[in-house]
């Protein structure tokens, strides 16, 4: 009998976690941090603010 282990979900935001923590520690608003980070991304479909907000709350920043 094999035990199925749940894979840890990895978010796109995890790649930018250090920068996000730095900006939040400086007191920059979450909306501004979101705009700064998505401006650096080289992808066509940008992630939404709602997903970013949920990720920040889940991480406990």
How does pLDDT run across 11-59, given as a tens digit for each residue? 899 999 999 999 999 999 999 999 999 999 988 888 999 999 999 999 9
pLDDT over 80 at 2, yes or no:
no
Residue with the bigger pLDDT between 3 and 1: it is: 3
For 45, the 3-state DSSP assignment is coil
pLDDT value at position 9? Answer: 75
Half-sphere exposure of 51 (CA within 13 A, CB side): 8
Q: Is the pTM of this model over 0.85?
A: no
């Amino acid at each position: 009998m094999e035990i199925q282990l749940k894979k840890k979900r990895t978010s796109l935001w995890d790649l930018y976690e250090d920068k996000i923590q730095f900006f939040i520690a400086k007191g920059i608003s979450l909306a501004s941090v979101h705009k700064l980070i998505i401006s650096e991304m080289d992808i066509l479909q940008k992630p939404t603010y709602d997903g970013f907000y949920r990720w920040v709350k889940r991480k406990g920043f």
